[in-house]
Structure 1
Amino acid sequence: MTGPRAKTCATCGRVIAAHAVYYRFSLVLEGEQDLLDPSDDLEGNPAEALEALIRRLDEGSADPGEMEAQVHWERSGVICSECRAVAMRMLNTATADSEPH
């Protein structure tokens, strides 16, 4: 009979023993935008604005996968106790006086 297998921390790569505490996580980042760019003249002629947007996307050098990742990215897995502590510190930090990245 075989018991539970050891797990690997998704952050640091440490092996988490089968008897050790581990933490499951699921992280979803979804891009949103509340206002459209005023330079996109949607009120003047929406069809032309849409055509211009499609043309810029077709002519751009952006990788479609990267563009998709900018809108939706998700990851799940398990982490060890040490990485949980780091994540909790990072996510609980007050952002009121934080400078932009």
Structure 2
Amino acid sequence: MWEKGYQTPIYLFNKLIGLQAVVEVVSNHTSNALELLAKQHSQMKTFVYQNQLALDYLLSECCIEIDDYKKTIRRLAAKIKKVAHVPLSKGCR
């Protein structure tokens, strides 16, 4: 009926669990990267703003605005982690 055990329900279930683990790891890495990018963005925003203030002072001109999406990026990263994590049921541990 089943050839070489490739399509047994247990085999398919184990493959599904493995795939879920891979998706969770990739999602965690992605959200960690987004958090680092948000941190870097915040630092760059501060640097650029300080430089713009110095130029404004020297040139008596103004007006640069840099949006800060740090909170939004971190919120999205947290959502990615939450969605990707699927706890194992008690029977699978």
What is the TM-score with the length of structure 2 in the denominator? Answer: 0.25
Whose helix proportion is higher, 1 or 2?
2
Whose strand proportion is higher, 1 or 2?
1
